[in-house]
Amino acid sequence: MRKSVLKGINKIEIIEAPIPEIRNENDVLIRMAVVGVCGSDIHYYKTGRIGSQVVQYPFTVGHEGAGIVEAVGKAVTSVKPGDRIAVEPSVACGHCDQCKAGRPHTCRNNLFLGCPGQIEGNLAEYIVMPERQCVLLEPHQSIDDGATSEPLSIGLYAVKQAQLTGNEAMGIIGFGPIGMSVFQMARWKGIDKIFVSEKIPQRKKVAARNGAFWAGNPLQSDIVETISAIEPLLLDVVFECCGQQDALDTAIELLKPGGKLVVVGIPEFDRWSFSADLVRRKEITIVNIRRQNHCTEETLKMLADGKIDGSIMITHRFPFHKVNEAFDLVANYRNGVMKAMIDF
Ligand SMILES: [Zn+2]
Ligand SMILES: [Zn+2]
């Protein structure tokens, strides 16, 4: 089979490799059909690391994917060859304190698809995953849903962790796939007043077109000033969705006293900073989001029922042999790219 590997900074290549084997009776061999390129894949591509997680080359990334079951181990009962499935990329151990506390996403022994030192990713023609990582798609459902459900489920989790009532004035700083995922879930929660700040004009347009209450570009106007004029009491909750220090600063300025800052973005640097004075005086609650917890199936159901639409985030498609072009495009934010999909 063919699989893609990172070979160095800004270097991704396709190599020949043996098809992975079913080793455990609960394993499923999956033929990948589609994989979305994620911002975190691009972090590894551009810098070789995210924080303490460092790539040992060669390494296969990719974790937003869907495919067809090719073969199953003896004990597998929930899926069979030919089934279309979403691949849930986070493999939890099931027996540590975190798993027992219902927090498999912070499992002490967590193995995440395409995460350095854990499991090779799914930008390969075939992968093997345990049965419990395979979520069946509904017959009428697009296979793309199996891939877009991954970022969308993070949006659902972030919105759940923010404990919204539906009446908030909220902000989203950064309207990439994660910002859009938060946006769609908040809209579905009934929130009408969503202010979006985004530097890329095409992305800003997507926000405006899909029902943002207000969308602006921080490179063109003073976001805090403009939003304060519309909403003098300021915002109840702001989601930082781009991993940038200036975005975090803006978010804190936009929050009203007692407001909530939800940090979803992954920064390329090691430390955030914020004004102790401002955060304390306003008594801001800071909520950090680590991927998602128990939101995949609910997200897939919402997609199947048409409550949310994953296709809005897909802007580009590439055949697998052009994976390097896809990475180059996303890494350089070219052509208004939101989400690039790799088709096998
Ligand atoms: Zn992702
Ligand atoms: Zn665990």
pLDDT at position 258 over 90: yes
Q: Would the pLDDT of 63 be above 90?
A: yes
Indicate if the alpha-carbon torsion angle 176, 181, 187, 193 is positive or negative.
Answer: negative
**Average pLDDT of the chain to the nearest whole number:** 96
Per-residue pLDDT, 44: 96
Residues 158, 240 contacting (CB under 8 angstroms): no
Ligand found nearest the CA of 44:
1
Question: CATH for 2-136+309-343, among 3.90.1150.10, 3.10.20.30, 3.90.180.10, 3.40.190.10?
Answer: 3.90.180.10
* Cβ 170 vs Cβ 239: under 8 Å: yes
Its CATH architecture, for the domain 155-288, is 3-Layer(aba) Sandwich (3.40)
Cα(25) to centroid(ligand 1), Å? 28
Q: How many CB atoms are closer than 10 A to CB 152?
A: 31
Task: Identify the pLDDT of residue 52.
Answer: 85
Rounded to 10°, the helix 143-161/296-304 angle is 120
**How confident is the model over 165-170, as a mean pLDDT?**
95
**Where are the domain boundaries for CATH 3.40.50.720 in the chain?**
155-288
**pLDDT at 10 (0 to 100):** 97
In this predicted model, what pLDDT tens digit does every residue of 7-58 receive, in sequence order? 999 999 999 999 999 999 999 999 999 999 999 999 999 999 988 899 999 9
- Residues in CB range of 121: below 8 A, 6 or more apart: 41, 59, 60, 61, 62, 63, 113, 114, 115
What is the 263 CA–ligand 1 centroid distance (Å)?
Answer: 16
**Model pLDDT, residue 172:** 98
Q: How far is the CA of 90 from the centre of ligand 1 (A)?
A: 11
Tell me if 310 sits within 8 A of 141, measured CB to CB.
no
The reported pLDDT for the residue numbered 156 is 98
Q: What is the pLDDT of residues 207-245, one digit of tens each?
A: 999 999 999 999 999 999 999 999 999 999 999 999 999
Which pLDDT does position 24 carry in this prediction? 97
Q: How far is the CA of 228 from the centre of ligand 1 (A)?
A: 33
Nearest to 109 by CA among 131, 92, 130: 92
List the beta bridge partners of residue 108: none
If you measure from the C-alpha of residue 292 to the centroid of ligand 2, how many angstroms do you get, rounded to a whole number?
15
What pLDDT score does 268 carry?
82
Whole-angstrom distance, CA of residue 316 vs CA of residue 34: 12
Mean pLDDT of 309-326: 97
CA 108 – ligand 2 centroid, Å? 5
Start-end ranges of CATH 3.90.180.10 in the chain? 2-136+309-343
Farthest CA pair distance, the chain: 64
Whether the per-residue pLDDT at 256 is higher than 90: the answer is yes
> Which ligand minimizes its atom distance to the CA of 36?
1
Please determine, for residue 147, whether its predicted confidence score (pLDDT) is greater than 90: yes
Query: Ligand 2: distance of its center to the CA of 208 in Å?
Result: 41
Rounded to two decimals, what is the model's pTM? Answer: 0.95
Could you say which ligand is closest to the alpha carbon of residue 37?
Answer: 1
Residue appearing with tokens 């600063």: 249
Tell me the per-residue pLDDT of 267-305, one tens digit each, with 9 for 90 and over. 888 899 999 999 999 999 999 999 999 999 999 999 999
Mean pLDDT of all residues in 195-199 = 97
Calculate how far, in angstroms, residue 150's C-alpha sits from the geometric centre of ligand 1.
Answer: 6
What pLDDT digit, counting tens, does each position of 85-129 carry? 999 999 999 999 999 999 999 999 999 999 999 999 999 999 999
